[in-house]
């Protein structure tokens, strides 16, 4: 009987030991699973934060690409038949360039054109999107120079030159001798050479150089705003 009891106790002790080892293994397995899950959750959190940061960066980039700079104002002062030719409509406008704050710079220039459609001839330099998106000091926005204004009933070459002070581009309205002035002056002086040489333009971070001549069908008493998109060209819209 004693031997039987010893055997029973030994068996129970063995079973208890086996369960102890088994349970310890299970617990360790659970702990390892929990650790892996925690690491996965932490990684998901980091990925989510990274995705959110990229989303915000993309939103900012898209916003910067779409920023419009108000660079000029066209006010229709008078419109009607020409005193010399009643069959010919003429339009007199006041053309005002805007300063860096989007306010009129000076009293403006009175210009009379043949017709009621007013064309604004400009030279435009557009930079690569990466520079616009990054808000680059020199290339953070397209820039332009005003050349002349003309109507639909006259040749562009007979249009009225715009009295732009110096050769400084918009939306950079203050000329000087800083790094930006040297950079832009070189581009304007060699504008058509860069326009016909993609390799040269690329070295400057330039995407395109060309002329633009947007126009608007003007109405008496109306005022139009001329804007330049950071990554694109010109628009003329009524105020």
Given a cut of 80, is residue 205 above it in pLDDT? yes
Q: Angle 60-134-54 (CA atoms, 0-180°, nearest 5)?
A: 45
Kindly tell me if the per-residue pLDDT of 37 is higher than 90: no
Mean pLDDT over 158-185 rounds to 65
| pLDDT for res 90 | 96
**Confidence label for 212 from pLDDT (cuts 50, 70 and 90):** very high
Between 38 and 133, name the one with better pLDDT. Answer: 133
Higher pLDDT residue, 16 or 220? Answer: 220
The confidence score (pLDDT) of residue 64 equals: 46
Q: What is the mean pLDDT of the chain?
A: 78
Question: pLDDT at residue 58 above 90?
Answer: no
Give residue limits of the domains in the chain: 1-66, 68-238
pLDDT of residue 120: 96
pLDDT above 80 for 57:
no
Return the minimum-mean-pLDDT range out of 130-144, 174-188, 202-216.
174-188
Confidence of residue 215 (pLDDT cuts 50, 70, 90): very high
Summarize pLDDT for 87-109 with one digit per residue, the tens.
999 999 999 988 767 777 778 89
Q: What is the pTM of this model?
A: 0.69
In this prediction, residues 192-213 reach a mean pLDDT of: 94
Higher pLDDT, 44 or 224: 224
Is residue 212 a contact partner of residue 71, using CB atoms and an 8 Å limit?
no
Query: If you average pLDDT over residues 75-85, what whole number do you get?
Result: 94
Q: Is residue 50 scored above 60 in pLDDT? A: no
Q: pLDDT grade, residue 200 (50/70/90)?
A: very high
């Amino acid at each position: 009987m004693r031997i039987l009891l010893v055997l029973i106790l030994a068996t129970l002790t063995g079973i208890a030991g086996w369960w102890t080892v088994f349970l310890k293994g299970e617990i360790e397995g659970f702990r390892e699973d929990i650790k892996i899950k925690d690491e996965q959750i932490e990684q998901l959190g980091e990925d989510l934060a990274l995705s959110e940061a990229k989303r915000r960066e993309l939103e900012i980039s898209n916003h910067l690409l779409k920023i419009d700079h108000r660079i000029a104002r066209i006010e229709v002062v008078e419109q009607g038949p020409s005193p010399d030719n009643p069959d010919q409509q003429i339009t007199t406008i006041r053309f005002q360039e805007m300063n860096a704050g989007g306010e009129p710079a000076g009293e403006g220039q009175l210009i009379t054109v043949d017709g009621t459609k007013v064309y604004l001839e400009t030279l435009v330099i557009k930079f690569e999107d990466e520079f616009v998106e990054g808000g680059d000091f020199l290339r953070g926005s397209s820039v332009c120079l005003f050349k002349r204004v003309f109507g639909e009933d006259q040749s562009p070459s007979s249009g009225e030159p715009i009295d732009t002070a110096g050769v400084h581009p918009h939306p950079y309205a203050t000329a000087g001798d800083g790094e930006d002035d040297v950079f832009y002056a070189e581009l304007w002086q060699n504008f058509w050479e860069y326009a016909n040489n993609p390799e040269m333009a690329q070295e400057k971070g330039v995407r395109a150089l060309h002329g633009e001549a947007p126009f608007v069908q003007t109405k008496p008493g109306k005022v139009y705003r001329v804007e330049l998109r950071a990554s694109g060209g010109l628009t003329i819209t009524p105020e």
